[in-house]
Structure 1
Amino acid sequence: MKFTVTRKHVSHMGRLGILSEFSRMPASQIETPIFMLYARGGVITHLTHETLQQVNTDSAILQIPFPSISIMKDAVQQSNQQSLSNFIGMKEYPSFVCLHDPFNLALQKSKRKMEVAIKGRRGNEDHSAEKFMSSIESLVPDMYQVLTQLEFTNKPKRMQVNVDRSIQFLDNCLSLHKNSEVLKKTSVIAAVQGGNNLSLRKECAVQCATRDVHGFLIDGLCSEEEATEDVDSDFVKAVLENTVKLFIQSSVQHKRNSHPYQRR
């Protein structure tokens, strides 16, 4: 997957671009910014595939929450469809498996140190990096968010622990991804966390940018009780201004000086 800047604002960070060179769909080009299509369980709510074709003729990306699709991993693998998009009958759309369901946010704590409890159709289920990556190998999406520890808290120590563990999950998932023949054509998306602590988010952004990933996701902008529309827009703006620019700076420096999986 490749991102190309087509137009950049002179005085601001805003820019237009194109996502291209998807391994499964080499001819596909998607203009950004773009809204993703929420597809819980691989189905777009209230729209049949035929209706979707009439509503949206442009290319789009399917956002499929992991908790809604993980139960189907065996069926996807046994179907021999070779990709999640093929399995759900939407082969013309790139698929992105996100770790959280934006319509059903839940705490992801586990009693075990290097596992994350993900709430799915069967209740909470603990996932280690190995178990999570095994599911991703069965699903074969075009892109996926790596395993992270999301906890809604304002306690500085807990936020630091969450960031540290998420970086460790990132390293573990990348190691498994690198050794996977099935996922050679799948892109990895790292999540930037840190709660309402901008300094911690900067640290997390720099750490993520030094890893060999294909993109980044700004995670944990709202609390468990807080509705998305109630999130402070000034805070979101501050997060973007203080983290996005670090991706390019740290990635360039990392390519010059570091091994892809070396922690700095």
Structure 2
Amino acid sequence: MLWYHIVFLSVIQGLTEFLPISSSAHLILPAQLFDWPDQGLAFDVAVHVGTLMAIVAYFRKDIFQIVSAWLISLKVRQSTADSRLAWWIVIATLPAGLAGFLFNDFISEHFRSMEVIAYSTIGFGVLLWLSDRFGSTHKAEADFGLKSILCIGFAQALALIPGTSRSGITMTAARFLGFDRESAAKFSFLLSIPLILAAGSLKSVELVSSDIAVDWMSILAGVILSAISAYLCIYLFLKWLNTIGFFPFFVYRILLGSALLFIAYT
């Protein structure tokens, strides 16, 4: 990989992993649009590690409280708001994990085209805007329950389709269910941790069991750049979310999807 490939893909991964605009689409597209070589398995591991480091660092206090409360609840059989949130994250992760196990190879083979990315970018972008425009904001973090968690969990499974955006579809589901923007975004970010950890672990196992030569300087650069860009993205997104809403991301998705359709059919 050339140095500007490393910088571009690392920063793009860090930004798009948590913005509602689809990281998978933005990592697939450079190779198709610019005829770049595939970044490879080792680099995928690196940027996953970087984004995981960023989300854990940003929510370190929340994660400590949630995990501590969950472990205590297992011992004393007493439920608290933090221990329930831990269970909600586990339960909401299951549908996407199961869908990935069953359909990941099929989707990778048949759905990684520019046309699919374009249509899902536009379609799920419209749903994101509708949820924010017409969804109520009468629910907060304390109002999560089993039904809402399952809805968000099954929505997250749709993110296997390139162009959907994992963060985008979970925030969309939460907003349709009446949760305010901040609660929807925070839960979406916390919910990303198990899947990023699982995806990074699986790719790491593949890497270790393969005979792929690893460029460790590229790997280190990928980890650092994706971590920095992801941390800044989370900070600024949560800071500005209540001011700007999801409309700018809807516009971006419409423009990107339209451009991709133009390229695909011309």
Coarse TM-score class (shorter-chain normalised): 0.3 to 0.5
Q: TM-score, structure 1 length as denominator?
A: 0.33
Which structure features the higher share of strand residues?
1
Which structure features the higher share of helix residues?
2
Higher relative contact order (Cα pairs below 8 Å, separated by 6+ residues):
2
Q: TM-score, structure 2 length as denominator?
A: 0.33
